Structure 1
Amino acid sequence: MKCRNITLMVFGFALSLFAQDDGQPPTFVSVPQIGNITAGSPIQFEIVISDASPLESVRLYYKTRETRGFTSVEMEKDVNYIAEIPGFEVIEGVLEYYFWAKDAYNNQAFYPEGGERNPLRIKVGRFESEIEPERFSIQMLYPEPNVQTDDDKPTFVFLVHDPDNLLEKNNLRVVLNTTDVSGKLIRDGAVMTYIPERQLSGGSQEVKILLQDQSGKPLFMKRYPVSIGKGSPIADRGERPAWQDKLKINANVGLDSDYDIFYGKEQPENRPMDVHKASARVRFRYGKIQLNTSALLNAHVMDEKAHDLSLRRQPLNRLRVDFRSPLLDVTFGDASPEFTELTLKGTRVRGLSAWLKLGWWHTAYVQGTTRQLIKPIVETHPDSIHWQMMRNLTGDTLYVNHDKGTPVREFRGLSTSMDFYRHFRLGVSAFKSYDDVSSLNLEYEPLEDHYLFLANSVVGLNSELHFNHERTVLSAELAISATNDLRADDSLLIHEGGLDTTLLNDINDLLGYPLTDDIFLGSAQGMGLSIPFPDLDDFDPASYLIEDVVKRGTYRIAFRTPLDLKWLQVDLNSEYFRVPANFVTIGNPSLQTDIMGLRSGARIRLIKNQLSLTGRYENTFDNVAGNTKNQTTNTESIVGGIGLNFFGLPMVNYSMRIMNRLGEPAEGYENPEELTLNDNVTITHTVSPSYQFTAFKTQFNINASYMLMNYEDANSTDDYNTNYLTQSLTTALTAGFEFPLSMTLGGGFSTTDPEDVTQAGTRFIIHSSRVGYKWMNNRLNTYIGYSMVDGFRDKNGLFDPGESYTDSNEDGQYNDGESYIDEIQLDNSKFTLKAGAGYKIMKNFTLDGNMDLIVVSDEVDVEKEYNEFRFRMKLKYWF
């Protein structure tokens, strides 16, 4: 008898060699962008993630200059992980983004490392027809021209649009009043900043930007008036404009039709055959008052199945209205407000958000829903052998078929802070969120057993001592969470916890949902109170506050400051934190729990930022409460790096990270001799060179990143060896020619080689290219490109579950000595061909078309092979 059951192998599980917690977070390999990135067009991100353990969650975080905080979206698993930012959220300027992933053992990682403190940035250009004829501009984002600011030492932020790399070929001068500050500019891609060395005098100021060629001939000049402190804004010369001239209106509307057809496999439920998106943005501005509105509507015309499924999923339509003024900001619709790290951050709330700004007192209020109602479908029949049997109120037998719905998840939050003397800020943040059981309107109570109705409340106290013009900050935050199942019993709270029934009802009325025994019992899965439940029979408020709320609670203390010396600049930062396993906040889905420790870092810049030294130290513990795991693991990391950025030479950054993990038996564990304690070390080297140069009137940009990671486990033996070596390399070459032709070549690889000779290594190869050309005086913009990801894992010389074998003993299982077919474990690829064109039909009217042809091949299991054709057409009109 022959048996065959090929195990599913995909790129995301390339390192799944051992079913244990090796303490290693996921590693990332980013797939480069190919298509044009312009305002109003959706951006799709794709990333390859490898981990020795199953991945539990992967999210993309992104932020534009118009949003207060990062918005997160769950990435979906295709061949790799993909996510798309809708076009109406893509605005001109700089888009910041980063990735976050968590595996089944709560090991988490950001890409790039540091997450929002060190996000990736891409430039979002205007519509091609909007670019000035001179194809160069510098826009001052902060301080806003003609808008008064109380900051007497503002960080000047400029957005550079430089498609022809004029800054590399010519001289840029930035003058503040009469002082030339060009030598103190810091440029990071499309963003350029200048930090004054001292406070600026109050009143009217002027920033002049001048671009000159080598002979001193002016190519570009722009003046920006600003007002600092109590002074009056610079008035334009000439007559005062009428209010009609002060009112600025910008609007755009678009229609995006996306057709996605699969060949060789059934159309996936998460990839409908057609999606039509109508979007609109209208922006009004009068002086310091702004009103921004945006909307996105989705519809399926051809794919009826997708239309029906969309009714069973969270809605993708978006509506947002923003009103901004010096005293009050109000947002209605879909937004991602941000309170603090431990309360609300990165969660989308549909409803009302308001920020009241009264000098030293700021208050934010959020009310809405984080999940929308999906009604359940309940069918009844007097007789059935497949449906669930129930009894109605009269005692008659009834059979029910139940298609689960989703209850509304209500959210209400408040955050307020007072800034005393503009140096000490004290604030309180709190929210409550709960599933509305009644929103499902279930006619039969036993059907509620199919659901887990959760309630989550979080309250936090935060303080901040800030001076040195916001550059030196000492902050602290303390938070408490409570999470419970709304349908659980409450008898323990009354009989064991000592809560009076009347008091419990009053608490329930205050919260808006019932407290249950989960609060009292708690669990490592997140239920319960994040601090020990008070003993109401012997309650000492002072002792409980210090010993339980603070010492055994959730908190973080952070400090950062620069040190400016004559010959060097030093940036220091440090953070101490404690987050137990049962601290839960639905307001921050990427908050790592069951961890406490210290993180510190320093960066030294010398020789006008041409030489930089970095160092970081991290010492953390898991099993914070001491009862969630059999052992407690101490993780110690040391990072050192050097950066060289000398003019005219390649820029090189190197860093080395050493991470040690040591385990010890949890306190009270009865048989510590039976434990295999963690004892491993990971050494990672990273080198990132880049170089810009001009040859044959062509601007070239070369960058690369190489990573080498060696994992060694002291518990490894000849029979069970978990050691491995991972290395990855990504490179990119961009060429901008004197005529409107641009080319990009990219590639890379990632390999994992186990030390165990019985295990096969895994490799990925990524390569891509893109060619773009503009015709008809930039009226027609075209490009064509491709990307390819190959994954391979060879035979291992051993029998693996799912491989074919000859069952000589006829016992239904493989036995040593029986013949088998050793098979390649992974051999698949994803090839994507992209082409597109954008055409300016009229002055303010464009048509864009993009085509993707995707071919997925799998030599191990041909049933996984398929082809995909995707075509997107977009119409855009603005005024």
Structure 2
Amino acid sequence: MTFLSESAFGQVKILHSPPREVYTNTPILIESIIEGNQVGIQRVRMFFRETGQSAYIEGDMSEYMGVYKAMIPAEYVKESGVEYLIVAEFTDGSMCAYPETDPYNVPMFLTVRRKIDASGNVRNAYLDAQGGIPSNVIVLSPEEGEIVPAEEVLVAVSMFSAPDVALQSIIVDLDGKNITREAEITEDLVSVCPKNMTPGIHTLKMVMNNRLGDPFSPIVVHFTVVRNVKEAKRFMDVSSRITAETNSEQVRGIRQNISQIRGDLSGQFDWLQFNAQVLRTSLEDPNKQPKNRITASLTSSFLDLRFGDVNPRFSEFGLNGKRVRGIEADLKLKYFNFHFITGETERVIPGTISDIPDTLASGLEDSLEYSRTGYTYSRKLWAFRPYFGSGKHFQFGLSFLKALDDTLSVKKNYGGIRDGSGVNITMAGSNKPQDNIVLGTDLLFSFDNRRFVWKTDFAVSYTNRDITGGPLSKEDLDTFAPGDTVRNDTLTFQGMNITLKDIPFDLDDFGWLFIINQNIKPFFPIDLDTTGIGLYSFLNMPSSAFKTFLTLNYFNNYFTFKYQRVGPEFVSLGNPYQRTDVQGFRVGDKIRLFGNRLFVTLNFEQLRDNLNKDKSGTTTTTTFSAGISLYPGEGLPTVNFNTMQYGRKNDIETLDTTYYYNPTTPTVVDSFLLRDKRESNMTMRQDITISHLIEFGGVKHHFNISYANSDRSDRVSGRVAGYQFNSMSTSMISFGINSTFKFPLKTSLKISTNKNESGLASKPYNFLSIATQGQYDFLKGKISVLGGYNLMNGSGLVDFSQHNVFIGAYYRFFKIHTLRGRLNETLIADRLSDESFNDLSFSLSYSVEL
């Protein structure tokens, strides 16, 4: 896939500022703006993965007031880090990406900090961002959201992993009342049994300092108390939220109206938890993949059931987060477990057919040929995984996945044009119906409270790239094998001769499992070595995938090692963004120093392709990254610095020369063409962010200053004349300040500049943006009003200015109702086209919580 062609480069750019405060098990909001686009935006997607993984998870970015947003789920935000990229597709077929150069191999990297407690509260991470130090204490009881009988309420907080706490500074607060005197405080545990607990929702809060007097971030847990054990078992806790919103957006004079409604119902009764989510949007289009979502789930300690749009995760190779509309079941019996999924991953899209015939089919004057394009076959998927062990210390699993396109879901006849009787309809394009099976196995060992984790995955796939004609007949097996062109009623392969009449079955008998015809790939999955079929043959199969991953969390080091080999013919339609034809390793370490005040991250990765030795050269990529995060404590600034070096080099040393001979004198060279396929380039990227919280005159100011640059250069000397290398140089500086006043006013200001230069562009382009916003609360936050002004100015290869003024309001009434509104006016002056636009947009939403 090629991004940013020369024509698109100067016109379109994705503007994005990476998030700076990222915490484990906390969702990450990614936002971007598409700037300089003159055609329609068809789709904007985000691809993300946990650092160290080879496959990306795909997610659509939703548009709101010109800003595209998507969330990286909390379960992918681990201490090893997060990688992501953004891809925008346009109606004219062009694309652009962020990062701009080689985004799949050099994605954005986010350093992830450990959260301060085990309750999973996002608000704790927010407090941590305001200057608190991560304490690493673990809340043993009660858990967040737990329902507890009054006689069994016990507060227990483990201090084992927080040796730097000054015990005399610990304050335990329950519902605003200090109960520290009732608590038993030791170096290993803080415990207290509150008395006279009344039924209802309660809040536990614990604050403490380290031995230097610096405060740790507060720990907050919410739990519910009921009268007795019987009531606790039968306690039903139900909550729901319904939100309806409408947006009317105008961009460069083109208006788009979007309406949607969301519903969320969750709760628990006795041992059963349930949840239902619904999204209905006006963006739903039968000619595109579904935008509407509906999900329902039932969860217990031994069985999980999910219906509707689910994102199952079997393994990285087979099924890893892809949306499936169907049914998912996970039976958890500790020693024996069974995971099952069935449904549809792609729905049928009819596409279009040409209004007039393209050509005369086969040169016949009375036969017309039409092309059918833009279609998608319905794809069904089912998979299961029996696995043994809970995963706490051991787990062994076997998995099977089958994905099959329904060849009858897209009809040839369309729009009144019927195939036959002098009319031939061709299914144009590369979207052929496919059949795919993946068999896998995985093994996990975990010890010492998951400080030692070793996980290994192996999978093998078999794929049919075009099942249009169905399975082969027995007669067609005669010339099925490669190199066998003689029809002698014998299947000849690898020196073996099998008479067709001796084959006791037809391939059609096994069509339900896999369709075999001349389009299967690879033809024979095992790579036979001199010793026959052995371990080496299995690990080096062209359609196999192998990965082993080790993590060690000892002595304030989080060490990771990964080795992988994914064959060039490995395909999983349940995980289509898995990188193939790659072999290599990755080693990394995250070091925690000075009581978690300093984090040092180091990673090195080397990968190569051309595993089948069928390419003209082998490309090796080497990535080294390092990061330093400093959190010195209250009153001092936090500093984050990251650097990355990415090298790409192949082993081609000579020029590719093509000779053209004189047609009248074949021995005389008429001309020749030189192609320079040598590759050796380096991308260097650095960024630094300094954040500081200052209180002055009773006003809290949170400053943020960042600088980032990236440079891509060619390392090959002696290039041929006319060779063009897409060198890239980017630099960005931003300054932001968020202020909170004594009275209910919050303001923000952000100024950023961005300069970009490319070897394929005639001149650089520059962006300057200024964003201001203020928010004031009335009636203790029941009513909020906000307003702001944004400026964006582009110069160089683009030349425009954009002014945006907005106002908004928030009103919460009767405790459960919320009304929000926003009005935007945008003035755009495009100096290149000498056009100007005055766009007015608004949004309105209402939500109710029950």
Measured at CA, do residues 661 and 281 of structure 1 come closer, stay the same or move farther in structure 2, by a change above 3 Å? closer
Q: CA deviation at 1:97?
A: 8.6
Contact 2:19 2:30 in 1 (8 A): no
The aligned residue for residue 842 of structure 2 is: 871
Q: Does the CA-based 8 Å contact 2:526-2:533 persist in structure 1?
A: no
What is residue 281 of structure 1 aligned with on the other side? Answer: 264
* Contact persistence 2:732–2:754 (CA under 8 A): yes
Match status 1:99 vs 2:105: no
Question: CA 1:603–1:581 in 2, change beyond 3 Å: closer, same or farther?
Answer: same
Residue 341 in 1 paired to residue 316 in 2?
Answer: yes
Q: CA deviation at 1:420?
A: 8.1
The answer to whether the Cα contact below 8 Å between 2:461 and 2:544 also exists between their aligned partners in 1 is no
Contact 1:32/1:768 (<8 A) preserved: no
SS for the counterpart of 1:30 is coil
Match of 2:388 in 1: 418
1:755–1:353 distance in 2 versus 1, CA, 3 Å:
closer
Q: Deviations over 1:515-537 (max 9, x none)?
A: 332324xxxxxxx57x846679x
Q: 1:409 to 1:787 in 2, by over 3 A?
A: farther
User: In structure 2, how many angstroms separate the alpha carbons of the residues matched to 1:347 and 1:706?
Assistant: 35
- 1:725 & 1:469 partners in 2: Cα distance? 45
Deviations 1:637-656 (A, max 9, x none): 33333332212321112233
Alpha carbon RMSD of aligned pairs, Å?
5.3
- Aligned with 1:360: secondary structure? coil
Matched, 1:251 2:240: yes
CA offset at residue 623 of structure 1?
3.0
Per the TM alignment, residue 358 of structure 1 is displaced from its structure 2 partner at its CA by 0.7
- 2:815 is aligned, of 819, 840, 843, to 843
Amino acid in structure 2 at the alignment position of 1:435: D
User: Shift in Å at residue 604 of structure 1?
Assistant: 1.5
Separation in 2, partners of 1:213, 1:620: 46
Asked if 1 retains the 8 angstrom alpha-carbon contact of 2:543 and 2:570, the reply is no
- The SS at the match of 2:574 is coil
Matching residue of 2:687? 686
For the Cα contact (< 8 Å) 2:404–2:436, is it kept in 1? yes
State the partner residue of 1:525.
Answer: none
Give the Cα–Cα distance (whole angstroms) in 2 for the partners of residues 80 and 631 of structure 1.
Answer: 44
CA distance in 1, matches of 2:247, 2:301: 40
CA–CA distance in structure 2, aligned partners of residues 276 and 56 of structure 1: 18
Q: TM-score, normalised by structure 1?
A: 0.68
In structure 2, what is the Cα distance between the partners aligned to 1:154 and 1:221?
10
**Residues 611-690 of structure 1 mapped to structure 2, 5 A cutoff:** 611-628=598-615, 630-647=616-633, 648-665=635-652, 675-690=676-691
What does residue 595 of structure 1 align with? 582
Distance (Å, rounded) in 1 between the aligned partners of 2:305 and 2:262: 21
Aligned mates of 1:363, 1:338 — CA distance in 2: 13
How far has the Cα of 1:546 moved from its partner? 3.7
2:781 corresponding residue in structure 1: 778
Provide the residue aligned with 1:763 in structure 2. Answer: 766
Q: CA offsets per residue over residues 493-550 of structure 1, 9 Å max, x none? A: 9621659773533442223xx2332324xxxxxxx57x846679x994436744643x
Aligned-pair distance for 1:388?
A: 7.8
Confirm or deny that 1:59 pairs with 2:45.
yes
From 504, 510, 515, give the equivalent of 2:513.
510
Conserved 8 A contact 2:147-2:226: no
Checking the alignment, whether the CA contact within 8 Å between 2:711 and 2:728 is kept in structure 1 is yes
The Cα of 1:589 is off from its aligned counterpart by 4.2
* Partner residue, 1:361: 336
Residue 320 of structure 1 aligns with which residue?
A: 295
Note the C-alpha offset of 1:274: 2.5
Give the CA deviation at 1:733.
1.5
Which residue in 2 is equivalent to 1:542?
A: 534
Quote how far apart the aligned CAs of 1:246 are: 0.8
Which amino acid in 1 is paired with 2:552? T
1:31–1:46 Cα contact (<8 Å) kept:
no
Are the counterparts in 2 of residues 12 and 80 from structure 1 also a CA contact under 8 Å?
A: no
Aligned residue number for residue 485 of structure 2: none
2:163: which partner in 1?
Answer: none
Match of 1:108 among 83, 104, 112: 104
- Residue correspondence of structure 1 range 250-649 to structure 2 within 5 A: 250-262=239-251, 264=253, 266-267=254-255, 273-299=256-282, 310-375=285-350, 386=357, 405-419=375-389, 423-443=393-413, 447=425, 449-450=427-428, 452-483=432-463, 484-487=465-468, 490=472, 491=476, 495-496=480-481, 498=491, 502=505, 504-511=507-514, 514-520=515-521, 528=522, 532=525, 540-542=532-534, 545-546=537-538, 548-549=540-541, 553-564=544-555, 569-628=556-615, 630-647=616-633, 648-649=635-636
Segments of structure 1 that go 5 or more residues without pairing to the other structure are: 1-5, 15-26, 34-38, 64-68, 127-137, 157-169, 185-205, 226-234, 268-272, 300-305, 521-527, 794-824
- The alpha carbon displacement at 1:399 in A equals 8.5
- Deviations along 1:356-394, one digit per CA (max 9) or x if unpaired, are 111133322111111223446789xxxx96588889xxx
- 1:658-682 CA-to-partner distances (Å, cap 9, x unmatched) read 3333320399999999644222333
8 A Cα contact 1:30 1:48, kept in partner:
no
Give the whole-Å Cα distance in 1 for the aligned partners of 2:226 and 2:357.
Answer: 82
Shift of 1:488: 5.9
CA distance in 2: counterparts of 1:75 and 1:409, whole angstroms: 23
Alignment of 1:743-754 (within 5 A): 743-753=747-757
Task: State the secondary structure of the residue aligned to 2:767.
Answer: strand
SS at match of 2:569: coil
Partners of 1:782 and 1:77 lie apart in 2 by: 23
SS in 2 for 1:766: strand
Contact 1:57 1:101 in 2 (8 A): no
Q: 1:459 to 1:873 in 2, by over 3 A?
A: same
Question: Following TM superposition, by how much is the alpha carbon of 1:691 offset from its aligned partner in structure 2, in angstroms?
Answer: 1.3
Q: Percent identity?
A: 19
Q: Which letter maps to 2:684?
A: I
1:236 is displaced (CA, Å) by 6.0
Aligned-pair distance for 1:113? 0.9
Alignment of 1:732 with 2:736, yes or no, is yes
State the secondary structure of the residue aligned to 1:505. Answer: helix
Identify the residue that residue 700 of structure 1 maps to in structure 2.
701
- Kept in 1, the 8 Å contact 2:549–2:561? The answer is yes
Aligned-partner Cα distance in 1 for 2:11–2:148 = 49
540-549 or 334-343: which moved more?
540-549
Give the match's secondary structure for 2:512.
helix
Q: In structure 1, what residue type is equivalent to 2:589?
A: A
Contact 2:543–2:571 (8 Å) recurs in 1: no
Write out aligned runs for 1:146-185 (5 A): 146=147, 178-179=184-185
Distance 2:654 2:189 in 1: 58
Residue 657 of structure 1: how far off its partner (Å): 2.7
Unpaired stretches in structure 2, ≥5 consecutive residues: 21-25, 50-54, 88-96, 125-137, 150-155, 160-168, 174-179, 191-201, 483-490, 494-499, 659-672
Paired residues in the alignment total 711
> Secondary structure at the residue paired with 2:799?
strand
Contact 2:656 2:674 in 1 (8 A): no
What amino acid sits opposite 2:799 in the alignment?
Answer: D
